[in-house]
Amino acid sequence: MNRRTLFWSIMLVGPLVLVSYLRGVSAFDDPSVYWGDVPESMQSFIVPWMFVAAAGYLLMWQRFFFAWSEEDVANLHWPWAEADGHGVNRLAGLYGAFLLTSVIWIDLTRMYIEGPSTLGAGLIVAVLWIAGAASVGFGVLTWSSRDRLPGAKMAVAGSVMLSIQCTWWDAIYWVMNFGF
């Protein structure tokens, strides 16, 4: 896969995340049902983090697709491995895991609210953990380039910003407090 194909794939799937949220929120008269048993005081703290996470996502996206060359991105590698020219494929795997799970989590949650089941709860938890792991993965993938590529530390910071939301607030805190 080349970076252009990945870029256009993200541009296609990314808006589907927003569409799924609109569809999910409009499915109930009271969309706050998605918060479950998360206290209102925490909701008002978590919502601003969603914007911080979005900013972090954009910091990474800008580096991956505009600031760095095709070769720079192709040489992204895990810290324990050597560059092998497959960085775009690694990035595609992370984006696929992150965006596809982001598209389906709200529908899984809606289905769970409408008909609770152990399978439904397990799927929601798995989807949130996959998205959280992918958000961390962006930073891990970029880590080995932090001294080589301009702005790589900003991309790592973007991953941290995204990971706080997706891993801590969603996969851990929300799951513990939703009321499964």
Locate the domains of the chain by residue range: 3-26+49-178
Instruction: Tell me the pLDDT tens digit for each residue of 133-162.
Output: 999 999 999 999 999 999 999 999 999 999
- pTM comes to 0.95
Identity of the residue numbered 56: G
Q: What pLDDT is recorded for position 175?
A: 97
Q: What pLDDT is recorded for position 131?
A: 98
Instruction: Tell me the pLDDT tens digit for each residue of 97-134.
Output: 999 999 999 999 999 999 999 999 999 999 999 999 99
